Structure 1
């Protein structure tokens, strides 16, 4: 996302013990995790990407994800070297207590190629060392091309 300076290597991720998409380790906070159980970027369905907003010492790959606005583009370079370009449709913070996986991860329009980018959001709770919610950026495929 050149508009906000977000760029990083993408690594394949599964689910953690709680059933959430496993984020990259904090030691690799510049990496973006792609949920391999979902759609591939540009294919029908929802391609899910997760990344850290920060670490104890510094900002991480999705630190500026909250600066993304509807209408901006997200470009994903796929394993085959082609690009999938998505247009941001919605940016929202979802409280962890109200997190509805089907609403967050589900398709907004049936058969459409979509993307979700997730990181921590809401207020930081120092005693818990966590945030109260998740920032979710949703978009839809607008074009594909070569690297």
Structure 2
């Protein structure tokens, strides 16, 4: 027959376990309170995990959300590559509410031309950039980034670029030396039912005016 563990030792372990349980509960409640009050949330809503964790070349924080108050736009951003034709791939039609960011280029707020793309509509409903063509020069564009900062842009131009005359270097490339620029691109022009495509692209050019 072996001797059991002393009662004082067992009591000490139970007290320690209770203290740790209460501490963990307090931390969980504190974190929940921050989230519900908005202090722990991204600027324009919860960003998809893929965007929040991405870092483009150069180490600049990836964009997580975009807001254009003048047209009532607030949308999450996801990183995207190129499509089969060499253009920036928009988010899938199954997620028409999302905006795509070309992760092979600058992040919004860094030097160069950052590119954001989105659908204008789907077969059933308007999509995230359905009102993009109505943006006017002088409108403010805010882009939230993964480090909590916000890049503030001002729209300089809104163009309708015909597909036949689409110049990728001009559309995607920077237009001002040393400036941080933003391009927002969607479909526009005339819809062709046979090809299920549009004849042009709406291209909004904006320029960095501040950071918050």
TM-score between both structures, scaled by the size of structure 2: 0.68
In terms of fraction of residues, the more strand-rich structure is 1
1:13 Cα deviation after fit? 0.2
Which digits, 9 at most, give the CA deviation of each residue in 1:91-125, with x for residues without a partner? 00100110001111111111100000000011111
Is 2:186 the counterpart of 1:116? Answer: no
1:103 matched to which residue of 2?
Answer: 170
Are 1:76 and 2:148 matched, yes or no? no
Unmatched tracts of structure 2, length 5 or more: 1-67
**2:76 maps to what in 1?**
9
The offset of 1:90, in angstroms, is: 0.4
Asked if 1:67 is matched to 2:129, the reply is no
Q: Which aligned segments of 4 or more residues in structure 1 are displaced greater than 4 angstroms? A: none
Match for 2:112 among 45, 51, 59?
A: 45
**1:93 pairs with one of 146, 160, 176:** 160
Higher helix share: 2
Q: Distance in 1 between matches of 2:75 and 2:94?
A: 14
Q: Larger radius of gyration, structure 1 or 2?
A: 2
Gaps of 5+ in 1: none
Which of structures 1 and 2 has the larger relative contact order (alpha carbons within 8 angstroms, sep 6+)?
Answer: 1
Other-structure match for 2:123: 56
Indicate the residue corresponding to 2:89 in structure 1. Answer: 22
Q: Aligned partners of 2:98 and 2:148: how far apart in 1?
A: 18
State the superposition RMSD in angstroms. 0.6
Q: TM-score, normalised by structure 1?
A: 0.97
Q: Provide the C-alpha distance between the structure 1 equivalents of 2:192 and 2:83, rounded to a whole number of angstroms.
A: 22
From 106, 126, 134, the equivalent of 2:201 is: 134
